[in-house]
Chain A
Amino acid sequence: MYGNDFAPPEDAPGGGLLGEVEAAEAALREAAARARRGGPAPDEDAEAYFADVIDADQKIEPRDWMPEAYRKTLIRQIAQHAHSEIIGMQPEGNWISRAPSLKRKAILLAKVQDEAGHGLYLYAAAETLGISRDELVELLLNGRQKYSSIFNYPTLTWADVGAIGWLVDGAAIVNQVPLCRCSYGPYARAMIRVCKEESFHQRQGYEILHTLAHGTEAQKAMAQDAVNRWWYPSLAMFGPPDGDSTHSAQSMAWKIKRFSNDELRQRFVDMCVGQAEVLGLTIPDPDLRFNEERQAYDYTQPDYDELMRVIKGNGPCNRERMAHRQRAHADGAWVREAATAYAAKRAEQKEAVAA
C-alpha cells in the first residue's frame, strides 16, 4: 500500500530488458569465479595486463592500473550519469504536490527517492576512480560537467510523468543495460542495480499512460500530447549519430560501451512501436514504418541541431534546472556546516573521555 502496489499489465514493457540485466549479473558472477589473475606477471607490464583483462571480458577494479584516458573517460561518463539522476529529480518532482491520486503520489515520491539513491550510488562508483563527490558536485554546479539533455525539457502536464517513465526511462534502460557488462567493475555493478529499478519505473510510467489513454477524452489527449513532446528528445538521448560521436570508438575498444549510439537508438525505436500500439497512442513520426529488408523500423532522426543547442545550455529549462540545484546547495550550506561542527564536537568529547 505504501507505493509500488499495482500489478503491471501483462503487455507492459521491461520484461525482456530485465532478463538481459539478469544475464549480465550472472555473467559478472561467472567472470569473478573465473578467478582473474591477481596482477601482472613479473615480466609483464601493466598495460599488457590491462589489455589482457579487457580481452578476457573480466573486470578492471579500482586498484588495477588503467590508462589515464580510460580513467578520465569513466569519471566523465559516470559523473554525468550521476548528475543526470540528481537533476532528473526536478522535472518529475515538479508533479509530486499535484499528483492526481494518493497512490500515484506515493509511487512518484518513491521513484524520485530512487533517483536520488541512484545518484549517490553512481557518485560512489565515480569515487573509486580517485575523485571526490564534492569535487564532482562542484563541476556540475559550475557547469563544467554535463547532465542528460532530456532533463532540460519541462513537465507541463501529469501525462508528462507517464511519458518520462515510458520513453525517458525506457531510453535510459536501453542505453544502460549494455553497461551492466562494462569493463569497469564498480560501474557494471552499479548499472545492474540501477537498471532493475529503472525497468520498474518504466513500467510505472507506461501504466500511467495506459490509464490515461483508456480514460476520458481529455486524459487521452493529454497522454498523446505528452508523447508528441517527449518522443524526439528521448531519441536524442542516445547522443549524436555515429559519424559525429567523439568518444565512441575508444569507449567500444575499452568495452565501456558495447553498442553505438545509432544501434541503441534503433533498438529503442523497435521496442517502442509495439508498446505504443498497445497503449493506443501514436508515435509522432509520419515516416515510421517497418523495413522488411532490415527487419527494423525506419524512422525520422531527431533534430541534432536542437540537441546541440540544449547540450550547450539553451534548452527550455537549462537555466532553471541549474539555478534550482545551485540554490538548494547554497541554501543548505549552513545545515552542512552545522552537521560538520556537531560531528567535530562529538569527536572531541570522545577523545576527552578516552584520555
Chain B
Amino acid sequence: MTTVFDFTLGLGDDALIAAQRLGEWTTRAPEMEEDIALANIALDQLGAARLLLTYAGELEGAGRDEDALAYLRGDREFRNCLLVELPNGDFAVTVAKLFFLAAWQLPLYTALAGCADERLAAIGAKARKESAYHLDHASLWMKRLGDGTDESHRRAQDAVDQVWPYVHELFVPAPGAPVDPATLRADVDATVAAVLDEATLTRPETSWAPGGGRDGVHTEHLSYLLAEMQVLHRAHPGARW
C-alpha cells in the first residue's frame, strides 16, 4: 500500500528536482524568450513542490517543513522518479524530459483535482493549469526540433531514445494512492504518440525500464544535484533565510 504521505512526497520530489534542473538553464537558453519560458516552468514546478512538500510534512506530523524536506534529506530518502534527475543534456534532451513529464503530470494533476483529499485536490486544480502550459510548450518544441533541420531531427531522436526508457517508471502501480499512476498509461501514450508522429519521431524499441526512484534508489546524478542544492542550507544549521 502506498500511503498519502509517500505519494505526496514522491510528487513533491518530482517537481522539486525538475525545478532544480530547469533552473540550471537560466542564462543558457538558445534564445531570450526560451530563457524566460524555462525559468517560468521551473518556477511553476517549484511552486507545486512547495505546496506538496509542505503538505507531506503535515501528513508526516514530525515537524518537517518544506525546507527540512528539501534540504535535510539525503539521496536515499528522496522519492522522485529518475526521469527528472537526469542531466539536462542539450536542449533536445531537456525538451524531451519536459515533454514526457508534462504529458504525465497533466492527467495526474487532473485526476488529483477530483480526488477525495481536499488539500491534494486543491493542489491538483492549481497545478494542472500550469502542466497544460508546460505540455503545450514542450510539444511545440518537440515538433520544431523533430521536424526542423536534419541536425535538430537527429538530436531530437537521440533525446527521445535516451529518455524514453525512464518513462515506464512513471506508471509503477501504487495501490491505495489517491491517484494510481498505473491508470494514466493510456492517456499519456495517446498524447505522446500524437506529438511524436507530428514531430516525425519514433519511440525506441527497448524493454529496458530503469526504476527505483520511488524507493530511494537513484541514478548517480542525484547525489551531485543535492550536494549543490543543499550546500548553503546545511552549512548554517538552524539559520533562518
Given A335-B31, A338-B144, A345-B147, is A101 in contact with B67 using a C-beta cutoff of 8 Å? yes
Smallest beta-carbon distance A104→chain B, Å: 5
Q: Are A93 and B27 in contact (CB under 8 A)?
A: yes
A337 to B152, CA, bound (A): 8
A341 at interface (Cβ–Cβ under 8 A)?
A: yes
Q: Are B236 and A218 in contact (CB under 8 A)?
A: yes
By secondary structure, the A interface counts as helix
Q: Are B43 and A120 in contact (CB under 8 A)?
A: no
A100 at interface (Cβ–Cβ under 8 A)?
A: yes
Q: Which residue of B lies closest to A89 (CB)?
A: B27
Q: Are B47 and A3 in contact (CB under 8 A)?
A: yes
In the bound complex, residues from chain B placing their C-beta under 8 Å from that of A93 are 26-27
A275 at interface (Cβ–Cβ under 8 A)?
A: no
A116 to B25, CA, bound (A): 13
B63 at interface (Cβ–Cβ under 8 A)?
A: no
In the bound complex, residues from chain A placing their C-beta under 8 Å from that of B27 are 89-90, 93, 112, 324, 328
Q: Are B149 and A96 in contact (CB under 8 A)?
A: no
Q: Are B66 and A102 in contact (CB under 8 A)?
A: yes
B157 at interface (Cβ–Cβ under 8 A)?
A: no
A235 to B151, CA, bound (A): 48
Q: Which residue of A lies closest to B42 (CB)?
A: A109
Query: Which of B186-194, B211-219, B227-235 faces chain A?
Result: B227-235
B56-88: contact bitstring with A at CB < 8 Å (1 yes, 0 no)? 000000000011001100000000000000000
- Interface residue tally for chain B (C-beta within 8 Å): 52
Smallest beta-carbon distance A289→chain B, Å: 34
B50 at interface (Cβ–Cβ under 8 A)?
A: yes
In the bound complex, residues from chain A placing their C-beta under 8 Å from that of B6 are none
B49 at interface (Cβ–Cβ under 8 A)?
A: yes
Q: Are B44 and A2 in contact (CB under 8 A)?
A: yes
In the bound complex, residues from chain B placing their C-beta under 8 Å from that of A110 are 39, 43
Smallest beta-carbon distance A247→chain B, Å: 27
Picked from A86, A90, A97, A334, the residue with its CB within 8 Å of the CB of B152 is: A334
Given A100-B236, A332-B91, is A337 in contact with B49 using a C-beta cutoff of 8 Å? no
B24 at interface (Cβ–Cβ under 8 A)?
A: yes
A355 at interface (Cβ–Cβ under 8 A)?
A: no
Q: Are A331 and B28 in contact (CB under 8 A)?
A: yes
Q: Which residue of B lies closest to A334 (CB)?
A: B151
Q: Are B30 and A1 in contact (CB under 8 A)?
A: no
In the bound complex, residues from chain A placing their C-beta under 8 Å from that of B143 are 342
A117 at interface (Cβ–Cβ under 8 A)?
A: yes
A337 to B150, CA, bound (A): 10
From 196 to 232 in chain B, residues with beta carbon under 8 angstroms from any chain A beta carbon are: 228-229, 231-232
B20 at interface (Cβ–Cβ under 8 A)?
A: yes
Given A116-B35, A338-B148, A342-B148, is A158 in contact with B232 using a C-beta cutoff of 8 Å? yes
From 30 to 47 in chain B, residues with beta carbon under 8 angstroms from any chain A beta carbon are: 30-36, 39-40, 42-44, 46-47
B23 at interface (Cβ–Cβ under 8 A)?
A: yes
Q: Are B145 and A335 in contact (CB under 8 A)?
A: yes
A205-236: contact bitstring with B at CB < 8 Å (1 yes, 0 no)? 00010011001101100000000000000000
Smallest beta-carbon distance A100→chain B, Å: 4
Q: Are B67 and A102 in contact (CB under 8 A)?
A: yes
A154 at interface (Cβ–Cβ under 8 A)?
A: no
A99-136: contact bitstring with B at CB < 8 Å (1 yes, 0 no)? 11111111001101100110110000000000000000
B168 at interface (Cβ–Cβ under 8 A)?
A: no
Smallest beta-carbon distance B237→chain A, Å: 9
A342 to B24, CA, bound (A): 27
Q: Are B43 and A339 in contact (CB under 8 A)?
A: no
Given A106-B50, A109-B46, is A338 in contact with B23 using a C-beta cutoff of 8 Å? no
A112 to B28, CA, bound (A): 12
Smallest beta-carbon distance A214→chain B, Å: 9
Smallest beta-carbon distance A89→chain B, Å: 5
Given A1-B47, A337-B152, A342-B147, is A332 in contact with B236 using a C-beta cutoff of 8 Å? no
Q: Which residue of A lies closest to B154 (CB)?
A: A334
A336 at interface (Cβ–Cβ under 8 A)?
A: yes
Q: Are A98 and B149 in contact (CB under 8 A)?
A: no
Q: Are A102 and B49 in contact (CB under 8 A)?
A: yes
B239 at interface (Cβ–Cβ under 8 A)?
A: yes
Q: Are A104 and B43 in contact (CB under 8 A)?
A: no
In the bound complex, residues from chain A placing their C-beta under 8 Å from that of B19 are 105
B104-144: contact bitstring with A at CB < 8 Å (1 yes, 0 no)? 00000000000000000000000000000000000000011
Q: Are A3 and B43 in contact (CB under 8 A)?
A: yes
A324 to B50, CA, bound (A): 31
**Can you list 26 A-B contacts with CB-CB less than 8 angstroms, sorted by A residue number?**
A89-B35, A97-B24, A98-B229, A100-B236, A101-B233, A102-B53, A105-B23, A109-B42, A110-B39, A110-B43, A113-B26, A113-B36, A113-B40, A116-B35, A211-B240, A215-B239, A215-B240, A215-B241, A216-B236, A332-B31, A335-B30, A338-B149, A338-B152, A341-B149, A342-B147, A345-B147
| 6 more A-B residue pairs beyond the given contacts A106-B50, A113-B36, A113-B43, with a C-beta to C-beta distance below 8 A | A3-B47, A97-B20, A102-B70, A106-B46, A116-B35, A332-B29
- Write the residues of chain B forming the contact surface with A, with a CB cutoff of 8 angstroms: 16, 19-20, 23-24, 26-36, 39-40, 42-44, 46-47, 49-51, 53, 66-67, 70-71, 90-91, 143-145, 147-149, 151-152, 155, 228-229, 231-233, 236, 238-241
